[in-house]
Amino acid sequence: MATAFPPAPKVGMVSLGCPKALVDSERILTKLRSDGYQMSPDYAGADVVLVNTCGFLDSAKEESLEAIGEAIAENGRVIVTGCMGNEAELIRARFPSVLAVTGAHQYEQVVNAVHEASPPVPNAFVDLVPEGGLKLTPRHYSYLKISEGCNHRCSFCIIPSLRGDLVSRRIDAVLREAEKLVSAGTKELLVISQDTSAYGVDTRHEPRMWHGREVRAHMTDMARELGQLRTAEGRAPWVRLHYVYPYPHVDQVIPLMAEGLLTPYLDIPFQHAAPSVLKRMKRPANEAKVLDRIRTWRSIAPDIAIRSSFVVGFPGETEEDFQYLLNWLDEAQLDRVGAFRFEAVEGAAANALDNPVPEEVKEERYQRIMEKTAAISAAKLQAKVGRTLPVIIDEVGEPDEEDGGIGATARSQADAPEIDGNVFLRDVGDDAKPGDIIDVLIEDADDHDLFGAPVAG
């Protein structure tokens, strides 16, 4: 007779917040899967539900609390983890029935909490974890987290109190994970951390052996090694750097982009440009030198896309400061820009600063910066019309009922998933699939997206 295995317990996951939290969720699920748990796509089928929270802004905290409440209402057996885990008393006061509360990247504690809530069923006959671990992103792109924590003390940020000071992963561990991800089908690696440029500072850039040679724990060395990886088709994966502070050694990765080892893309959190605001933010105020460096970067790698985010309405920001920022953006001509209205975060030093900006002024400035950056984006995208660009396909549509044509949603090298624009394609063919990297002719553009068709042959 065939052996009947007892059903494995099922775990549901609600993952909130930034890509770094998403990586935490993937690691938790991978460990649970290796312990024999199955994953549930809905509340009804789950024996226990994990809610990975975000606690960076008050609005994010409220979203996390709403998610916890929904999970309790729909399932009842809930474990809370993530950045809001350091506010366990608040969570328990509002939701006394939560089974456990753990902090950010406390993988062992949250897994132990799941074990207690719903013990695993041993099954030695089944391989439960696919190569590369479990993923919450599509198979063709993966986030590669290289460190935790941050050594900066920006006045508006509470990340160090949530995640601690910088702790870098070993370089051989980072490269080994990247190699496994690419061998498992990843076509695009998105390097993330709180401060990618500072990678290895805490370990004095300790070298490790990798494929018979020493490699330092340093951003430039890591980027060069990632550029040597190859997919099953023999192509270099796209390697995209996020959260890059503009330290001087960032200049060294630009030639790697010109050589094709790195995707010509930098995500740099400038936050503002006015010296007085940067000083109150406790951030470096070298905006003029940065403009010179951006010009140099573009002379080396003309297709480099630079994305950033800015805070408007920071305490003490004057109309003169804000106009300085708008003028700086005219000079910088950044490709992708996100803006945020300043929001007081409990525990942030900025809350004690004087001269708060009225909410209506914040809103008015937010609308002005978005109008400015949309105009810059539209002009830069319009300049790409008529060019042939490589794109990576994210999603393929169904054949059109009238002419049978198939469309697809893709991204260019200037577009990171979820945060930047798209390239909408027509007539991709019935063999197109997510993860394909193809050349397309750009036919049109709007403020944020491109439109085109595959190049024949």
> Which residues are annotated binding-site positions?
18, 54, 83, 150, 154, 157
Instruction: Tell how strand 423-425 and strand 408-412 pair up.
Output: antiparallel
Element of type H or E holding 63: helix 58-74
Neighbours of 93 (CB within 10 A): 9
| Residue 59 · residue 345 · CB < 8 Å | no
Helix pair 287-300, 319-332: axis angle to 10 deg: 10
SS3 127: coil
Tokens of 390: 């490589």
| Residue 42: burial class (beta carbons within 10 Å; 0-12, 13-18, 19+) | exposed
Tokens of 409: 């949603």
SS3 27: helix
Nearest Cα to Cα of residue 251 among 211, 218, 294, 210: 294
Tokens of 66: 């709403």
Give the whole-angstrom CA distance, residue 269 versus residue 266: 10
Give the whole-angstrom CA distance, residue 97 versus residue 111: 19
Give the whole-angstrom CA distance, residue 411 versus residue 437: 9
SS3 321: helix
Tokens of 79: 């474990």
Neighbours of 383 (CB within 10 A): 11
Neighbours of 308 (CB within 10 A): 21
Q: How many helices (H) and strands (E) does the chain have?
A: 12, 20
Task: Please give the annotated binding residues for [4Fe-4S] cluster, written as ranges.
Answer: 18, 54, 83, 150, 154, 157
Give the whole-angstrom CA distance, residue 201 versus residue 319: 38
Nearest Cα to Cα of residue 366 among 331, 325, 414: 325
Q: Which residue has the tokens 């980072």?
A: 174
